[in-house]
Amino acid sequence: MNTTNSIRAVIFDLDGTLVDTAGEIKAALDATFAELGSAPLARAQVEALIGRGVRSLVERALSLAAAPATDLEAAVARFEAHYEATVGTEAELFPGVLPGLRLLESSGFGMSVVTNKPRFFTLRLLERLGIVPLFAGIVAGDDGIRRKPHGDMLAAACRAMGVDPPAALMIGDSDNDVLAARAAGCPVWCVPYGYNEGRGPETLKCDRLVATVEEAAQILIGPRPTPG
């Protein structure tokens, strides 16, 4: 495991790490299910489905809800239409994210986002939150790169930032993120407040748990001299 002194860049997961998106995703699923004649899922159920991309989310949601027989691709299209109308309208950065990102930027760390979410939704979300300029790379689920838990997306982010994987810290909230980091050769820290498919943060086999992105930034930067 690398020491913090060797880390020059940070790769972030999106949903559940930087942004609380579960409410918007649930709203889009609720609208989809209403059209299909199925009862909505609880928020906790929706949170447990986040992280593997849109198609997987819709497929597992339909199974969980025991929804009437329907064409999966048609259901995915319905969901995407509803999500397009809601993405970035209510989602918020988790506490500590913006100060953490600003601290890392001011200290010269390269930053990227790696997410299994499709690029259109990813960019719409980041643009509406006003944080796109902070990232040197954005690698999304439909970029034609093997998605997390494979390490290929993280390797692409490292190339975008001009660093080798051991010098790029992955910060995520799920087993998917940990497995992808291990596959890519990146150290990995996790936040405890994310979705992780309904499992507790104590189950994550990461190198460190950090309370917030801001705490992670403070650890990476280290103690700063006291003025005077």
Distance CA 81, CA 120 (A): 12
Distance CA 38, CA 18 (A): 31
- Decide: helix, strand or coil at residue 18: coil
CATH topology agreement for domains 4-20+91-221 and 22-86: no
Distance CA 14, CA 126 (A): 9
23-62, pLDDT tens digit by residue? 999 999 999 999 998 999 999 999 999 998 999 999 999 9
Please give the class, per CATH, of domain 4-20+91-221: alpha beta
- The pTM for the full model equals 0.93
- Candidates 17, 26, 78; CA nearest to 214 is 17
CATH number for the domain running over 22-86? 1.10.150
- Indicate which residues carry an active-site annotation: 13
110-142, pLDDT tens digit by residue? 999 999 999 999 999 999 999 999 999 999 999
Task: Name the helix (H) or strand (E) containing 184.
Answer: helix 175-184
Residue ranges of domains in the chain: 4-20+91-221, 22-86
* Beta strands per DSSP E along the chain: 9-12, 19-20, 92-93, 110-114, 137-139, 168-172, 188-190, 208-209
